[in-house]
Amino acid sequence: MKNQPSIEQALQTLKENGLKYTKKREAMIAYLAKANRYVPAKELHEYMSEEYPGLSYDTIYRNLHDFSEIGILEETELNGEMKFRFHCCSHGVEHHHHHFICTICGKTKELSICPMDFFQDQLPGCTIESHRFEIFGRCEDCQPV
């Protein structure tokens, strides 16, 4: 599997952060790594329920939140719903970047330009501690016909 090394890294990160390895957690991570886009918890729950009937939505959501807290996943709010994506740095990309996110399918594209230099110049004497920058729109596959 193409993403296997990064999945293994994510599983190691679970262990390093005191989260127990389970087949369910591995399946969740593998699904998100393969999707390579922002995925709603509901979609992941539907997928996981096929293999693990009776698995609760709350369990899925709690794990997604935990994975996000330890840096395995990125999260964003899109159309009033939290969505989750396998962290880009888990794929070996260690550079600072932002994303274009399709509002229809959740596909993402990396943006290598960061607007923070402009904002830093506009805030003399201030210290920026963090930032988040995302562009939302329709990808080439989701354009209206």
- Residue 90: per-residue pLDDT: 42
To the question of whether residue 126 is assigned a binding role by annotation, the answer is no
| Mean pLDDT estimate for the chain | 86
Question: By the 8 A CB rule, do 113 and 99 touch?
Answer: no
96/116 Cα distance (integer angstroms): 11
**Would you report the helix, strand and coil content of the chain in percent, each value rounded to 5?**
45, 20, 35
Annotated ligand binding at 105? The verdict is yes
pLDDT digits (tens, 9 = 90+) for 24-56: 999 999 999 999 888 999 999 999 999 999 999
What tokens appear for 21 in the block? 């390895």
Which architecture characterizes domain 4-91 according to CATH? Orthogonal Bundle (1.10)
Q: Annotated binding residue at 131?
A: yes
- CA distances to 11, 26, 46, 99 from 71, in Å: 12, 15, 24, 17
Domain(s) of CATH 3.30.1490.190: residues in the chain:
98-142
- Is residue 88 part of an annotated ligand binding site? no
Tokens read off for 2 = 């193409």
Q: What is 98-142's CATH number?
A: 3.30.1490.190
So what's the pLDDT on residue 1? 43
- Report d(CA 137, CA 76) in Å as an integer: 14
Which tens digit of pLDDT belongs to each residue from 79-116? 788 989 887 654 444 556 788 888 888 888 888 788 87
Query: What is the Cα–Cα distance from 132 to 111, expressed in whole angstroms?
Result: 12
Domain with CATH 1.10.10.10 in the chain: 4-91
45 is in an annotated binding site: no
